[in-house]
Amino acid sequence: MSTVTFKVFRGDQNGGELQDYTVEVQEGMVVLDVIHKIQAEQAPDLAVRWNCKAGKCGSCGAEVNGKPTLMCMTRLDTIDTSKPVTVRPMKTFPVIRDLATDVKWNYEANKKIKPFAPAPNTNWVMFQEDVDRVQEFRKCIECFLCQNTCHVLREHGEKTGFIGPRLLVRTASLEMHPLDVENRLDMLKNEGGIGYCNITKCCTEVCPEHIHITDNAIIPLKERVVDEYYDPVLRFFRRLFGSKKRPELSQAADD
Amino acid sequence: MSTKPVIGTDKRLTERQDLWWLEPLLVAVVLTSFVIYTIWAVLQRSDFHFGPYTSPFYSIPFTSAEKLEWLPFSPAFLVIWIPIGFRATCYYFRRNMYRAFFWDPPACWVAEPKRSYSGERKFPFVLNNLHRYFWYLAVFALFFHIYEAGKAFFFEDGFGMGLGTLIMLLDVTFLSLYIFSCHSWRHLAGGCLNCFSKHKGRYTLWQRISQLNEQHGLWFWLSLMTVWVTDIYIRLLSKGILTDVRFF
Q: What is the pLDDT of residues A17-67, one digit of tens each?
A: 999 999 999 999 999 999 999 999 999 999 999 999 999 999 999 999 999
Helix (H) or strand (E) holding B147, with range, is helix B131-151
Question: Is the confidence at residue A134, as pLDDT, over 60?
Answer: yes
When pLDDT is cut at 50, 70 and 90, the band that residue B10 belongs to is low
Nearest to A213 by CA among A156, A145, A157: A145
Q: For helices B22-44 and B77-88, what crossing angle results, to 10°?
A: 170
Q: How far apart are CA A234 and CA A79, in angstroms?
A: 50
pLDDT digits (tens, 9 = 90+) for B162-183: 999 999 999 999 999 999 999 9
The answer to whether domain A2-97 and domain A104-254 are alike in fold is no
CB A7 within 8 A of CB A86: yes
Q: How far apart are CA B184 and CA B159, in angstroms?
A: 38
Q: What is the mean pLDDT of residues B70-74?
A: 87
Q: Is B120 on the interface with A (CB under 8 A)?
A: yes
Q: What is the mean pLDDT of residues B113-123?
A: 88
Domain ranges of chain A: 2-97, 104-254
Question: Is the confidence at residue B226, as pLDDT, over 50?
Answer: yes
Q: What is the mean pLDDT of residues A119-126?
A: 91
Q: How far apart are CA A116 and CA A205, in angstroms?
A: 28
What is the SS3 assignment for A35?
helix
Q: What integer pLDDT is reported at residue B4 of this predicted model?
A: 54
Phi, psi (rounded to 5 degrees) for A142: 55, 50
Domain ranges of chain B: 19-238
Question: Is the confidence at residue B218, as pLDDT, over 70?
Answer: yes
Q: How far apart are CA A148 and CA A143, in angstroms?
A: 9
What percent of chain B clears pLDDT 70, i.e. is strictly above it?
A: 95
Per-residue DSSP letter, B246 = B
pLDDT digits (tens, 9 = 90+) for A68-79: 999 999 999 999
Q: What integer pLDDT is reported at residue B208 of this predicted model?
A: 97
Q: How far apart are CA A133 and CA A135, in angstroms?
A: 5
Q: What integer pLDDT is reported at residue A1 of this predicted model?
A: 74
Q: Which of B6, B118, B188 sits opposite A94 (nearest CB)?
A: B6
Q: How far apart are CA A71 and CA A55, in angstroms?
A: 9
Residues of chain B numbered 208-237 and touching chain A (CB < 8 Å): 213-214
* Residue contact A220–B187, C-beta within 8 A: yes
CB A226 within 8 A of CB A238: no
Q: Quick count: other Cβ atoms within 10 Å of Cβ A5?
A: 13
Of A12-16, A136-140, A175-179, the poorest mean pLDDT is in A12-16
Which amino acid is it at B232? I
Find all residues with CB under 8 Å of A24, minimum gap 6, and list them. Answer: A1, A2, A3
Phi, psi (rounded to 5 degrees) for A135: -65, -30
Q: Is A2-97 CATH 3.10.20.30?
A: yes
Helix (H) or strand (E) holding B33, with range, is helix B22-44
Question: Is the confidence at residue A117, as pLDDT, over 50?
Answer: yes
Q: What integer pLDDT is reported at residue A243 of this predicted model?
A: 57
Question: Is the confidence at residue B25, as pLDDT, over 50?
Answer: yes
How many angstroms away from the CA of A57 is the closest CA of chain B?
A: 23
Residues present in chain B in total: 248
Which amino acid is it at B227? V
**Bond prior to B124 in cis (omega within 30° of 0):** yes
What percent of chain A clears pLDDT 70, i.e. is strictly above it?
A: 95
Quote the mean pLDDT of chain A: 92
Give CA angle at B176 (B172, B180), nearest 5°: 175
Nearest to B226 by CA among B169, B179, B188: B169
What percent of chain B clears pLDDT 90, i.e. is strictly above it?
A: 82
Q: Which of A15, A157, A158 sits opposite B6 (nearest CB)?
A: A15
Q: What is the mean pLDDT of residues A76-103?
A: 96
Helix (H) or strand (E) holding A95, with range, is strand A95-97
Q: Counting one residue from A and one from B, how many pairs have CB atoms under 8 Å apart?
A: 155
Residue B2's Cβ-side half-sphere holds a number of Cα atoms within 13 Å equal to 10
Q: What integer pLDDT is reported at residue A240 of this predicted model?
A: 81
Q: What is the mean pLDDT of residues B103-130?
A: 91
Per-residue DSSP letter, A214 = I
* Residue contact A88–B1, C-beta within 8 A: no
Q: What integer pLDDT is reported at residue A72 of this predicted model?
A: 97
Q: Which of A80, A202, A244 sits opposite B108 (nearest CB)?
A: A202
Q: What integer pLDDT is reported at residue B101 of this predicted model?
A: 95
Q: Is B19 on the interface with A (CB under 8 A)?
A: no
- This model of the complex carries an ipTM of 0.91
Q: What integer pLDDT is reported at residue B11 of this predicted model?
A: 63
When pLDDT is cut at 50, 70 and 90, the band that residue B17 belongs to is confident
For chain A, give percent helix, strand, coil, nearest 5.
40, 15, 45
Q: What integer pLDDT is reported at residue B38 of this predicted model?
A: 96
Question: Is the confidence at residue A249, as pLDDT, over 60?
Answer: no
In the CATH hierarchy, which fold is given to the domain comprising A104-254?
Fumarate Reductase Iron-sulfur Protein; Chain B, domain 2 (1.10.1060)
Q: What integer pLDDT is reported at residue B3 of this predicted model?
A: 53
What is the SS3 assignment for A68?
strand
* Residue contact B105–A155, C-beta within 8 A: yes
Residues of chain B numbered 60-99 and touching chain A (CB < 8 Å): 91, 94-95, 98-99
Q: Which of A158, A196, A205 sits opposite B108 (nearest CB)?
A: A205
Quote the mean pLDDT of chain B: 92
Q: What is the mean pLDDT of residues A233-251?
A: 65
When pLDDT is cut at 50, 70 and 90, the band that residue A199 belongs to is very high
CB A60 within 8 A of CB A145: no
When pLDDT is cut at 50, 70 and 90, the band that residue B5 belongs to is low
